[in-house]
Structure 1
């Protein structure tokens, strides 16, 4: 389940705790790094170096 604009992963963590496979997506690298501290089996490792280009 995608969590777009996940920020620090507050909603992603709740969904993952309920058994959903969650992928958090956010433009803020700092927020993603914070959220990655709380990875578990339902929040797979992500590519921290992935970038989105703005038009």
Structure 2
């Protein structure tokens, strides 16, 4: 499995624990979650689910 893909303008890498708070802030923004979720997620529940998802894929 490739850990990092880089181009001149973009770096793609696996998510890690340090990304969790920023990712949650983005997903819970009403302007963003409108496109991701059918209804607004509960912030506490969503954080727990996101953290468990990171653990399932091998948190780094």
Structure with greater helix share of residues: 2
TM-score, scaled relative to structure 2: 0.29
TM-score, scaled relative to structure 1: 0.30
Which has the larger Rg?
2
